[in-house]
């Protein structure tokens, strides 16, 4: 804001600088209006008996007898109830020194005070660019496409940007270089006396090491550049000389351990199966006594039958023939598993 000998009063900015409001009731006040916009100036609390509002001794607004102004330009309007003067479609030549003279009913002056009005072009748009450099630092440039006397202010993650985050530049400059590792949401705010606008960018420089259509890419780029990779092998802010041998060694060691465990399980199962086949098999004999009808045989009242364990070797079974004429004791042999 320009230096002033008096009190500078500009109150607020509306709709990107298209309308401003100013309190001109104090002497030597300064007001700022947007080019092609409008400004509302409060000249007084209530309408006096008479007043003139002049620019360089040229009367622009004149009122008498406590009534609405009898003389006023087409772009001007005055509200007697609150003493507000509105100027529309501001032009460069509206800038200058204005004087308010208040009269008594006898024509003598009660008050004479001055006001400076400055017309500035508002900032309507901002261009923000981000560029990743060789070691991961980021060059950020913020520029107003229009507007008079723009001023710049930076914030990172909703907090004011600190000098400790900068590799070069100033927090009030429109171009800065951020240190490697600085990340988050960066906002550039641009303002002047009649407007304010801001634009933001998401910081995301990563090292990309991949091929794109057969061409090797190996440098720091914004994260969205990953889409260029055929088969991305990028790393997040890492150096291309990373050594992956420890990782591969760990994977191979794990596979070797799993292979040894599998072989041990298979050998144990085979050994267990072989032991079962070698176990002794028990065979019981079913002994029956048959009385042949053609011969009378005296049988003891108590016949004791003894069962024994019979061992068989792995040989084919043989069929034993018995004589029909003799009383025979035969056995049915069952092989148990």
CATH topology of 12-120 equal to that of 126-203? yes
Angle at 116 between CA 110 and CA 117, to 5 degrees: 125
Q: Beta strand pairing status for 175-178 and 184-191?
A: unpaired
Helix (H) or strand (E) holding 245: helix 245-278
Helix (H) or strand (E) holding 257: helix 245-278
| CATH class of the domain comprising 126-203 | mainly beta
Q: For 117-153, what is each residue's pLDDT tens digit? A: 999 999 999 999 999 998 889 999 999 989 999 999 9
Q: How far is CA 160 from the centre of its chain?
A: 20
Which strands make up the sheet holding 138-144, listed edge to edge? Answer: 126-132, 138-144, 175-178, 166-168
Q: In a structure prediction context, what are the per-residue pLDDT tens digits for the chain, which is 337 residues long? A: 333 333 233 333 333 446 899 999 988 999 999 999 999 999 999 889 999 999 998 999 999 998 999 999 999 999 998 999 999 999 999 999 999 999 999 889 999 999 999 999 999 999 999 999 988 899 999 999 899 999 999 999 999 999 999 999 999 999 999 999 999 999 999 999 999 999 999 998 888 888 888 888 888 888 878 888 885 454 554 444 445 566 777 888 888 898 889 888 888 887 777 666 555 444 444 545 444 444 443 434 444 444 444 444 444 454 444 444 444 444 444 444 4
Cβ–Cβ under 8 Å, residues 193 and 118: yes
- CATH code, residues 12-120: 2.60.40.10
What radius of gyration do the chain's Cα atoms show?
A: 53
Boundaries of every domain in the chain: 12-120, 126-203
Q: For 68-108, what is each residue's pLDDT tens digit? A: 999 999 999 999 989 999 999 999 999 999 999 999 998 89
pTM of the shown model: 0.59
């Amino acid at each position: 804001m320009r230096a002033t000998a008096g009190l500078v009063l500009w109150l607020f900015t509306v709709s990107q600088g298209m309308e401003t409001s100013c309190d001109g009731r104090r002497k030597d006040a300064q007001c700022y209006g947007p080019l092609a916009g409008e400004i509302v100036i409060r000249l007084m609390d209530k309408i006096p008996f008479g007043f003139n509002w002049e620019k360089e001794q040229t009367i622009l607004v004149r009122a008498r007898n406590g009534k609405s102004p009898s003389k006023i330009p087409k772009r001007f309007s005055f509200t007697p109830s609150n003493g507000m003067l509105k100027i529309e479609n501001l032009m460069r030549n509206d800038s200058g020194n204005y004087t308010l003279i208040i009269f008594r009913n006898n024509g003598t002056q009660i008050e004479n005070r001055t006001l400076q009005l400055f017309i500035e072009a508002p900032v309507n748009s901002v261009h923000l660019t981000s560029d990743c450099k060789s070691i991961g630092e980021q060059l950020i440039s913020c520029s107003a496409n229009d507007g008079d006397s723009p001023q710049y202010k930076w914030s990172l993650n909703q907090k004011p940007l600190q000098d400790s985050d900068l590799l070069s530049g100033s927090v009030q400059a429109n171009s800065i270089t951020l240190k490697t590792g600085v990340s988050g949401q960066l906002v550039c705010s641009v303002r002047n006396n009649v407007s304010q606008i801001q634009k933001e960018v998401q910081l995301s420089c990563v090292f990309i090491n991949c091929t794109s259509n057969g061409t090797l890419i190996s440098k720091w780029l914004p994260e969205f550049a990953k889409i260029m990779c055929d088969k991305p092998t990028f790393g997040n802010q890492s150096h291309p000389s990373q050594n992956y041998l420890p990782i591969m060694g760990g994977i191979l060691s794990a596979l070797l351990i799993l292979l040894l465990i599998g072989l041990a399980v298979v050998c144990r199962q085979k050994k267990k199966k072989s032991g079962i086949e070698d176990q002794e098999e028990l065979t019981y004999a079913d002994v029956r006594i048959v009385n042949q009808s053609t011969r009378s045989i005296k049988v003891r009242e108590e016949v004791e039958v003894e069962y024994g364990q019979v061992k068989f070797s792995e040989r084919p079974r043989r069929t034993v023939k018995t004589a029909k004429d003799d009383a025979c004791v035969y056995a049915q042999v069952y092989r148990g598993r």
